[in-house]
Amino acid sequence: MIKAVSTLGAIGLAAALVAVSGGVAGAIDPPVVPPGPPPPDPAPGPDQPMRQIAACTTTGVLPGSDLRELPAALQLMNMPEAWKESTGVGVVVGVIDTGVAAQPRLPHLVSGGDYVMGPFGDGLSDCDGHGTVVASLIGAAPSGLALVPKPAWAAPAAPRPGLRRRARFHRHRLRRRSR
């Protein structure tokens, strides 16, 4: 008997709460989507002006490197077998990193914007060096040496946008208060 009364009381309380709350669907108005295309994105840039605080890093090849050899990582993944299926021809790759510096092994770069330097940069400079190395790993052209079969290097025919998103050698300019 006591169990039946407490069950009925719980059901009655739940029914009263639902009746008073107006239901879940009536909680908010649905969003209004304006007709037509969305507005254009603003130009990329930092929230505050930036300045360079250190000398830029330089990239290069370690002494004793044999660029004619297929790198161990590509050998481990058996990339020559994968290249028989697909080479990346016509694929556009976006590198969102520290920028991508122009160099002979990346001949088809396209600017994608610069969130570090804003209107003073185009993403095609790389003070940190990281973005350039990443872009080179993705699809750099051979430097005149007999590296691997040509299909493996077909991806550089497609442009790669350089988009700089971070940089450790740049900082926000501090705004001085005028007194």
pLDDT of amino acid 158 = 42
CA atoms of 77 and 69, how far apart (whole Å): 15
CA atoms of 23 and 10, how far apart (whole Å): 18
How do beta strands 109-114 and 160-164 pair?
Answer: parallel
pLDDT of amino acid 15 = 76
For the purposes of burial, counting CB atoms within 10 Å of the CB of 88, is it exposed (0-12), middle (13-18) or buried (19 or more)?
middle
pLDDT of amino acid 176 = 46
pLDDT of amino acid 167 = 58
pLDDT in tens, 94-126: 888 888 888 888 888 888 878 777 777 788 888
CA atoms of 38 and 69, how far apart (whole Å): 49
Domain ranges of the chain: 95-179
Tokens standing for residue 81: 């077998």
Would you say how long the chain is, in residues? 179
pLDDT of amino acid 178 = 46
- Cross-strand pairs, 98: 164
pLDDT of amino acid 35 = 92
Helix (H) or strand (E) holding 72: helix 72-76
- Cross-strand pairs, 163: 96, 113
Low-confidence spans in the chain with pLDDT less than 50: 145-160, 174-179
